[in-house]
Copies of this chain bind each other. A is one copy, B any other.
């Protein structure tokens, strides 16, 4: 059970096109800021600021690996998010290739 105002804050985070796109990407696979900059064609500070909001809202986790900071989705206590993501479009082939090519395949020890 989630208090209404807390739920509203979480939904507000999802109620932005850019952030919802980010969440959709992270649903597929973890990503660093440079991935998201490349895929979404937005400036780095803009993405960073969105990630901070998502992190503060408990929707994503961060993990530094070398120079890069990888973000991953944290849906453990928010099963409704999965339901939302099920209705979103698949990632494009281009997005997928960006995720796999730069800076390296996540979770492989290339750093």
Q: How many A residues are at the interface, by size bracket?
A: 20 to 34
Also in contact, A7 and B88, with CB within 8 A (given A12-B16, A14-B15, A15-B13):
yes
Inter-chain contacts of A12 with B (CB < 8 A)? 11-12, 15-16
Interface of A (DSSP majority class): helix
Query: Are the CB atoms of A1 and B80 closer together than 8 Å?
Result: no
What is the minimal beta-carbon distance from A23 to any residue of chain B, in angstroms?
A: 10
Q: Interface readout for A24-60 with B: 1 if CB under 8 Å, 0 if not?
A: 1000000000000000000000000000000000000
Q: Does A75 contact B (CB under 8 A)?
A: no
- How many Å lie between the Cα of A5 and that of B19 in the bound state? 10
Task: Give the docked Cα–Cα distance between A59 and B16 (Å).
Answer: 18
Taking a contact as CB atoms under 8 Å apart, the answer to whether B11 and A14 are in contact is yes
Point out the residues of chain B lying under 8 angstroms from A88, CB to CB.
1-2, 4, 7
Chosen A-B contacts, 16 in total, with CB atoms closer than 8 Å, are A4-B20, A4-B21, A4-B89, A7-B84, A8-B14, A11-B12, A11-B20, A11-B84, A12-B15, A12-B16, A13-B15, A79-B83, A80-B80, A80-B83, A80-B84, A80-B86
